[in-house]
Structures are given as structure tokens and as C-alpha cells.
Structure 1
Amino acid sequence: MDRTKHMGTASDQEAARTIASRYLSVHERGGYTYRPFMKRGIYRREDYRYLADLKVLLPDAKLGTFSYLWGRYQAPMVMNLRFALIPYGPIRVFVNGVLAAQSDIFSERARSKQIFELVMHEGFNDVVLECENTSGGFGGEFGTWVGKLDYYFLMPDLYPEQEGFCYSKTLENQLDVLDAQHLNVLAWLPELPDFKDDAVDLGRIFNDASAQSYVVVATALHLDTSTWCNVICNAELSIDGKSITGSVELSEGDHDLVCYAKVGDGFELSIKEARTNAPLFCHTPVLDLNSSYRYLFAGPFDMRPEGFIVQCSKPFATSQGQDFWHLEGVSTYLRMYNDNVLFGHWNYPLGVTLYGLVETERMLKPTEPELSNRIHSYINRHIQSSIDTYAYACWDAEHLGGATAVHHLMTSLDSLDDCGSFASTLLEVAKDHELHDYAPLMEVVGNYLSKTQPRLSDGTFFRTGLMHTFHENTLWVDDLYMSVPFLCRYAAYRNNPEYLEDAVHQFFGFSKYLFLQEEQLMSHVYDFERNLVTGIPWGRGNGWALFSLSELLTVLDVDHPKRDALLSLFQGLSKGVLRLQGENGMFHQVLDMPQSYEESSCTAMFACSFSRGVRSGWYPDGEPYRQACLKAVQALKETAIDSEGHVWGVCRGSEFSCSRQYYAHQLLPRLDDTHGIGIVLLSLCEAQKLG
């Protein structure tokens, strides 16, 4: 950070305004991407890796022959892509034509995971796997090194904008050169439909539907000028809501076409410019204008559907259950992706980010209504988008392989990280925002915490049975924030004190395993596999604990029988933290390791917690904590917030270790990391309330 551009002389409100304005300028606009998807061939499965069992895909392949798998990865910058390979037989991995990795005989025999760092340049990178057919196996599994890491590959231009890998018919010999020119001449699978044919065989798309079933066909037409058109269609057709037969004059611009066809009749549509007889080509309403796919198909329906609304955000009911749009070809669907960096995503750091934004909105409302309203609109759109796409994501997870590109955490729900933070913020935002239809999501999260999330015998949450197996049989201080704030708000939402009692119970359970009595700090993790507490007082971990306890004490009745014990814990942890504040006001990545770097998110969390403690009268003597809060926020303005609204010095998302060196020297800070933006905003809001 350029120290000459810090915000040390700015007011708390001005600093918050600057951060929020920058954040909105980068992430305010966002929408969803649609792509064709073939549920055949090589696509991601429930573990988020691609499955290419070529013994199944190429059953007639001779031993000793080769098949090539081809995908493309779009990198935002020069980077290393961590890539897992589980070979069934010999595999060599090429990146942009250069050998980058290969299997070994040990992993081939055991079908065990190998992890490689693939060097990617900015933009599209060709990733090609050369697979040899052996008696031991042919092909393999590959992709993300850990479950729920939602990166994916696109097929080459032969299959425009489609996710997955294509695979070649077998070759007797290996290719000497693996560039696009040499790859393009191979015979690739899976096969695409014949897009040049005006007729579509609906029976191939809906192969188990009766011939008398109806199908809704949606398409669009773009005209550069007003045109008389000759329209031939073997189905009932409307254009822009008007029934059409024969010739029609269409104005310049976009036109929506909807047809009702019967499966047995197939579907055929021809539109030609009346004067020249030149064909006019339709395109799907949501794919790129240059896409080869022309139509969306919904069905089958036993009767002609009345009032059917063409929309691409939710599944719809058919005679065979819930379904989504099909495209031309066998087992081919329209699929939704979220390619935004942050907008519309549901994860725990964004839950904190939006919490900070909504408090900033409330702080700015009396004096800066324009920016406050802008933040209000953004929060609404982000959260409502997450609400509105959940039904689609559940359908996608059930029907398209298991690995979704929208709501990938909530559709692979196996941890508190996946649900609690964002759901808590949703309930907080719903207090004064116009959110709707979120009850099903809240029910899922509430049921998960109360009935599904693993617990120790004493009822304390812990981590087991996760896709991320490194976390197996551990208890993390982070999970206080991933559970307690939601339980507090959910108790009020459901008017059920049992959830609040669970929140109280969690603090005593976590403290039993993680509170370091001598230091009056919390250890990051307890490892039940080795039956030990790691003993590292990670800054943000202690921030999660103290901040979450402030959330609980804020809503707990003053006469609650365990309130005094919780206040004692709050005071003790506050005391342990306070003594480690640096002279400039910052706290360190490892709290009692002054040579570790100054970390912004924990500094902000402690400032928030101290402010709440002072304002609520939770300290016998609040003045030291008042001064510590103001000093911490001033330090953030001087060392972590620059004049452009960037937030510096925020530790990235963590794993865990018994070594302090991991936290100090490997778990390094990142610019504008969402683990810190929201909590820094909250600290600015709290400091202003404190005065």
C-alpha cells in the first residue's frame, strides 16, 4: 500500500463511503451466463471432477490405441491451476501443446490422485489429455483437486461455449504435435446435431414421451430493418404474442417466437425474407447470436399448456416432473452459470461483505441517501438473485451430474461454511429490504444446522464427512461465526428460542476444546484424529469468536441463566486480545507473534466487538476498550484502506496447521479479499456509533 494514499485523515463515514463506492463500481453489474450442456461424454460429476472412462465411451477401442481429450481453461491472469488426475491408464497432460504432467505406474494401478500445478497464461489455454488404452484401464478422472472448488473447462471451438471435454476417436499412434491445427482434423465425440436441417426430431429430444404430447418451442429473431417475411411452421406459432400464419411484416429489432408442437409431428420452422426469399435465422433467446443452437424446448406436456411463461431462471412442471429447457440433440440442455467474480454468489466471505454493506447503507442513509439507495439496490439484487436461482440449482444438481455452476455450495451442502454466514446476512437484510420467497432457503439452512450438521456427543458442532477430506474430524473456531449469528436470527425468524439455546450451547462447547486458559485466547483448531489442540491463536479465528459472541450477547435476555458465564468469556477473551494490540493499533496474524504481519480482518473484528461491548455495558471498565477500538479503526484507515477504496492486509482463506510458520509465512494477505471488506466496513460503522 502506498502510505501517501491512506485514509488516515478521513472520517469513518468517508472511509466507508470510499470502500463501498469502489466495491459497487467493480461488482454492481452482474447477470447469469447460459451455455449448451450435453449430459453425455465427459462432464463434471458430484465430486466436481470430470469423468472420462473411455472403456465405456469407446467400447470397441483396441488395446494400445490412443484417445485425446480436449478442453480449454480461461485464466484471468498468469497463474498456476491446481489440477488433480486420477488415471485409469497412462495419461499425459499437455497445456498449450507442451507436456505439463503425466501419470505414473503407481497411481495408474491404485487409481490414486496425483496433483499438479499447471501453468496458465492469461486468456484461453488448451488442455489436452493423451490417454492410452491398456488392459488395466483407459482414461480417468481429473479437474479440481478438492470437492466444491467450482472451476470448469469449456470445449474447443468445435463445440462453442459448451462446458466439458470432447474426446477423439481412437488413433493407432500418438500425435507428434498437439496444437489446434493438428487437433482439429481428428474425429471428435460426442456428435453434434445437424443444425442445417430445418426439421427437428422431437422424439430424439423427448424419447420417452408419447407422440401426442405437447412441446413448447421458444426462439427469437433479430432484424436489422423492417421486413416482410414468409413463415412456414408445422406447429401453432405466435410472434410477440400474436398468432401468425403465412406472411407477416416484422419491424426492426428483436422478436420472440413461441410454438406449440406435438412430439410425433416433430418441429419445422422456415422464415424467409419475402422479397428475396433469403432465409432468416432464428436464435435462442439467451445464447449468443452466433450459437448454432436455435431453439429451446420445454416438455413434454399431456395437454397444450395454457399461460406458459417463457423464462430461463427456474425449472417448470411437465408431465414427467420438474424440468428445464432442452436444446437440439440428445441429452442436451440449456445450463446456467455464474461467471461473475462476486455478484450473485452465496458463500461465507460474501455473507460478511454484504453484512458490512448493509450497515454502511444504514449509516449513510440520513446524510448520503443517493449512495445509500445504490447500496440498497445492489444488496437486494445480489441476495434476491441467490434466492431466485436456488430452485434451478437444485434441479441442476439432481439432473445434470451433481456439480452446479450456480449455488454450488448449497447444492453440495456438507458444512457450516456453506450456509450459515450468508443465511444470517439474508435474515439481517430482510429486516429492512424487499426480499421475497426466501423461506425455503431458510428452512434448508435451519434444518441443516439443527438436524444434519455433525455434532460431538455433547452437541458441539464439528467437521466430518466433508468433500474436503483434510478437514475430517476437526473442530474450528471459525464455525462459531458460521453458526451462531444465524441461530440468533433464525430463533427470532421462527419465534423459537431453541435455536438461541443451541447458539449458547455452542459457545460453551467450542470453549471447552479451544479456549487457551493461560493466554485467554482461542486456538484455531482441535484435531480429533490426533486428539490435540493446535494451540495457534490465529488472529481472524479469535475475531470470529469474539465478534460472534457479541452477536449472541446482543440478543440474549439479560436474565438468561447462562448470560453471566458468557459475559465472563467475552471479558476474558477481550482481555487476552487487548494486551496484544500493537502500538499503532493493529493486531497480528498470529496474535502473540509480533513478527507475523499486521492483519486487517482480525483488527476490524476486535474493533467491532470492543465497540459493542462498550456501548452495551459489558465491561466493568469500558474505557480501555473504547480507546482500543478507536485506535484500531484509525490504524485501519492509515495502513489498510487507501484513497481508492481498496482494502489491504486481509489474510486469505485458511487451512490449518500446528505450525505458527504456516500462518505467518504461508497464509498471506491479499488485496480486496472478501474475508475483510465487510468486517472493515462494520468496524467503521461501529466506530462512528461509539463516537
Structure 2
Amino acid sequence: MMIKTNLKTAFLGALLCASQLFAQEKVSNTLPWSVRMTESEMIRCPKSWQLDFQPKLKWDYCHGLELGAILDVYDMYGDKKLFNYALSYADTMTYEDGSIETYNPNELSLDRINTGKFYFRIYEQTKNEKYKKALDLLRKQFDSQPRTSEGGFWHKKVYPHQMWLDGIYMGSPFYAEYAFRNNRPQDYADIINQFVVIARHTYDPATGLYRHAWDESREQKWADKKTGQSAHCWGRAMGWYAMALVDALDYIPKHEAGRDSMLNILNNVAAQIKKYQDKKTGLWYQVIDRSGDKGNYLESSCSTMFVYTLFKAIRMGYIDKSYLQVAEKGYKGILRDFIEVDKQGVISITKACAVAGLGGNPYRAGDYEYYINEKIRSNDPKAVGPFILASLEWERLHK
């Protein structure tokens, strides 16, 4: 009983110390928004493995999204503590033989690939071979990843015959960067094909939008028996796809056959982002094809993803500069309607859908009622990461 009491006392003491530390830390309002959000996250999560509300070590896409964004802040503004924050996660999760804590290649889940993207820079700067081995391990998963009849990767082994827009972001930018850094031009056609196949099968000609997912087998209850498409365009799914386009294009040579197909898709994505932008706020709805309908709401993760995509696509010359008005209106809307600042200067981003998917157990039907009733929370990394990225683009534009 004494041991249990002492452990409980120690735990409560640690919590008290953490809360006191949080109360003492401040974030200056003179800093750029990207730095303010980064410092706020580091206060909320003193250890980088704690990101995404994690109580224990986990290898998943949210850490990669957010730590990659934090490394971008480091690249732009310096401050070694930002690099060390990202490095500590990499070091904690990676063994000397390149194996990764909690990563199981046999799951064949594209969600497990995304975090590897920030390892390219960790390896570049540390030259520690365990990170190169980890990158090779993640790349090897593509050799076994099940595919549709047209060569599109299944989202996960447990989701047979299905391609999700989410999965393109989770796998293809990593695949493209690995090919670029390791002199594998033979991979570019396969990478481009991932974007083209899912665009072909999720495109809704009635709206111009891309629906969340496609089931080639038409076996899922959420899949249309004729097209295999899911019922709706979920904002964040299209946001993932939009970011995947601008990020993968960084590494695909301009002369590569089929690259123009990606640019054509990106230009349609940009046109739909503009078309469905809420005229009053400059933001976007959780379910894009039901924008403004009862129960629908303006959602922060898709809004930040769309703004980042537009800013970057304009900077890189992928889309017309006229989209700058759309991006700036969206960014100002994010600051006005989603960003909150406490007395210590710590900032939060609100109104993010915690998670949404299709199928599984319990079964997710992907109907309108499902999407609008999923949990909403603040400081979800799927909004935090894209907000940092969008802010960096804004800051680069206005330097």
C-alpha cells in the first residue's frame, strides 16, 4: 500500500510540476504565427512523442506531419531547439538496425509511411546510418503493398481494393522524395499513376470535387454499386490530396512524362477550392459537397490544408496568381475564426474534426450524418501542422 501511495504522490507531483511549467511559459505575440504555433505545441507537449495527444510511444502520420512542419520553421528561422525537438522523436523511435518502435511493415498501411518524410532531413544533418536504414525499411513496404488492377496502392491491407485520398498524402510524397534522393527515376511513373488513378475514380462530374474514397470491388456498403465511390467529398480528404500534389511535385522532374497530368489535377483542385470557399468567412466546410447545409460546419484542418496548397502552388508557378486572393482571404479567416490566444500568449487552433474514415469496426458508413457528428477538438495535429505550413508560406510571401 505504501508503494502505491508513493507512486500516486509522485505522479500527482509530476502533473503539478508540468502544470506549473505550462503556466510559467509564455509565447511572444511579436513572433511570426508559424513560430508562435510551434512554441505553443512544444509547451503543450514537452516531449515530441506526446504530440497527437499520445500517452505512449506511437509511430503514425500525425507526428510526421507536425514535426516536418516544425523542421520547416527551423529551416526558415533557425533556433536549434526546434531541430532537437524533432530529433528527439526520431531518436526515441529508431533502433540501430533501422527498425522503428511500433511500426509493423506487415500491416501494409500507407498511414505508417508519412512520418518517414522528416527522416530525410534528420539523416541529412546527423549522418546517423540508423535513419537511412529506417528510410529503406519504409520504402521497402511499397514492394509488398497490395494494388488495384490499375496499380493504385490499397490504403491498408485491412481495406482491400480501396484507395482513399488520405492515402495518397500518406505514401506518395515520401515515395517521390525517396526516388529523388536515391536516384530512382524508374519510380516516377508509378508515383504519378497513384494520383491519376485515384483522380479518375473519385472525381464527381456533377460537382467537380473528389470524393473521399473508391472501392474497386464495389463490395463495401459505403461504395456506390456502379462507380465504387463513397458518398461525399470530405473536406480533409481533399485537403490531404491537395497537399500531396504540391509536395510530391517538388521531387518529380519537369521533363517526366505524366507530370502534366498532376498539374492538370492540381488546377482542378484549386478551381474547386475557390468555388466552394465560403463567401463570408473565406473558410471551408467539413463536407464540401453539402456546404452550408444544416449541421455542417466550417472546419479548420481542411481550411488550413487548402490555404497551404494554394500559397505553395502559386509560389511554385503551378496555378495562376489570381488564386492569391482566395488564399489570403482563407488565411485571414483562419486567424479570425479558428485561432485563440490565452493570457500567456499560447495559441490554439479550434474546430478540427478529430478523425473520419470508412468501413472498419464499428462500421463507418460515410453518409452525411456520419461526417458531421464525428468528434471536434482543438489543437489536432491535422490542423496544427498545415497551419504552420500555411503560415510559413504567408510569411515568405510578405517578407
Q: Same fold (TM over 0.5)?
A: yes
Which of 349, 360, 377 is matched with 1:670 structurally?
377
Describe the shift of the 1:564–1:536 C-alpha distance in structure 2 as closer, same or farther (beyond 3 A): same
2:232 pairs with 522, 527, 536, which one? 536
1:383-407 superposed Cα distances (whole Å, 9 cap, x missing partner): 12212377676xxxxxxxxxxxxx3
Q: Distance in 2 between matches of 1:646 and 1:613?
A: 26
Question: Cα distance, 1:501 vs. partner?
Answer: 2.4
Task: From the superposition, tell whether residues 576 and 373 of structure 1 become closer, same or farther in structure 2 (CA, over 3 Å).
Answer: same
Separation in 1 of the partners of 2:33 and 2:253? 34
In the alignment, what sits opposite 2:243?
547
Q: Quick one: distance in 1 between partners of 2:274 and 2:197? A: 24
Equivalent positions of 1:262-661 (< 5 A) are: 341=54, 345-365=58-78, 372-388=79-95, 407-410=101-104, 413-418=107-112, 420-432=113-125, 435-449=128-142, 451-463=143-155, 465-466=157-158, 471-527=159-215, 528=217, 529-530=219-220, 531=225, 532-582=228-278, 583-593=280-290, 594-595=292-293, 596-619=296-319, 621-623=320-322, 625-643=323-341, 644-656=346-358, 657-661=365-369
Q: Does the 8 Å contact 1:490/1:499 carry over to 2?
A: no
Partner amino acid, structure 1, of 2:269: L
Report SS of the residue matched to 1:642: strand
- The answer on whether the counterparts of 2:64 and 2:115 sit within 8 Å (CA) in structure 1 is yes
Aligned-pair CA distance for 1:690: 2.6
Distance 1:360 1:26, change over 3 A: same
- Give the match's secondary structure for 2:214: strand
* TM value normalised by structure 1: 0.47
After superposition, the Cα gap between the structure-2 partners of 1:670 and 1:561, relative to the gap in structure 1 and judged at 3 Å, is same
**How far did 1:689 drift?**
2.0
**C-alpha deviations, 1:632-654, integer Å up to 9, x for none?**
12111112222122221111122
Shift of 1:341: 2.6
Structure 1 distance, partners of 2:277, 2:312, is 18
**How big is the alpha-carbon RMSD for the aligned residues of Structure 1 and Structure 2?**
2.5
Distance 1:474 1:438, change over 3 A: same
Instruction: Look up the SS of the partner of 2:170 in the other structure.
Output: coil
Q: Is the 1:15–1:641 Cα contact (8 Å) retained in structure 2?
A: no
Tell me how far apart the structure 2 counterparts of residues 443 and 31 of structure 1 sit (CA, whole Å).
22
Q: Say if 1:344 and 1:382, in contact at 8 Å, map to a contact too.
A: no
Candidates 45, 54, 67, aligned match of 1:27: 45
- Distance, in Å, in 2 between the alignment partners of 1:617 and 1:488 is 19
Q: Which runs of 5+ in 2 are unaligned?
A: 1-28, 359-364
Partners of 2:233 and 2:49 in 1: CA distance: 40
- Confirm or deny: 8 A CA contact 1:547 1:605 kept in the other structure: yes
In structure 1, distance between residues paired with 2:254 and 2:41: 38
Q: Residue 189 of structure 2 aligns to a residue in which SS?
A: helix
Where do 5+ consecutive residues of structure 1 fail to align?
1-9, 33-337, 366-371, 394-406
The structure richer in helix per residue is 2
Contact 2:71 2:82 in 1 (8 A): yes
Work out whether residues 233 and 287 of structure 2, in 8 Å CA contact, stay in contact via their aligned partners in 1: yes
CA contact (8 A) 2:242 2:309 kept: yes
- Answer yes or no: is the 8 Å Cα contact 1:353–1:676 preserved in 2: no
Deviation per CA, 1:7-48: give whole Å up to 9, x if none: xxx78x53222211121123234799xxxxxxxxxxxxxxxx
| Conserved? CA contact 2:123–2:132, under 8 Å | no
Q: Rg larger in 1 or in 2?
A: 1
- 8 Å contact 2:169–2:244 — kept in the other structure? yes
Task: Please tell me the residue identity of whatever aligns with 2:374.
Answer: L
Percent identity of equivalent pairs: 20
Judge conservation of contact 1:376–1:433 (CA < 8 Å) in 2.
no
CA contact (8 A) 1:480 1:506 kept: yes
Amino acid at match of 2:367: S
3-state SS of 1:483 partner: helix
AA of the residue aligned to 1:560:
E
Asked which structure has the greater RCO (Cα within 8 Å, sep 6+), the reply is: 2
Shift of 1:434: 5.8
1:27–1:464 distance in 2 versus 1, CA, 3 Å: closer
Q: Distance in 2 between matches of 1:381 and 1:565?
A: 39
Preserved CA contact (<8 Å) 2:214 2:230: yes
Q: Equivalent residue for 1:169? A: none
Deviation at 1:610, TM superposition (A): 0.6
| Aligned mates of 1:570, 1:24 — CA distance in 2 | 33
1:460-496 superposed Cα distances (whole Å, 9 cap, x missing partner): 1114632xxxx34322111110111101111123211
Which protein has the bigger strand share? 1
Q: Which amino acid aligns with 2:275?
A: R
The answer (yes or no) to whether the contact 1:30–1:344 under 8 Å persists in 2 is: no
SS at 1:646 equivalent: strand
C-alpha spacing 1:570/1:489, structure 2 compared with 1 (3 Å):
same
Q: Work out the CA distance in 2 between the residues paired with 1:462 and 1:432.
A: 33
Letter in 2 for 1:635: G
- Local SS of the residue matching 1:475: strand
Secondary structure of 2:40's partner?
helix
Contact 2:107 2:156 in 1 (8 A): no
Distance 2:32 2:56 in 1: 24
Match of 1:689 in 2: 396
Cα gap change, 1:616 to 1:457, in 2 (>3 Å) = same
Contact 1:650 1:670 in 2 (8 A): yes
Question: Which whole-Å deviations, capped at 9, do the CAs of 1:251-301 have from their partners, x for residues lacking one?
Answer: xxxxxxxxxxxxxxxxxxxxxxxxxxxxxxxxxxxxxxxxxxxxxxxxxxx
Residues in 1 aligned to 2:199 and 2:123: alpha-carbon distance in whole angstroms: 31
Cα distance in 2 between the residues matched to 1:363 and 1:585: 27
Aligned to 1:680: 387
| Alignment length (residue pairs) | 347
The TM-score, its normalising length taken from structure 2, stands at 0.80
CA distance in 2, matches of 1:434, 1:639: 43
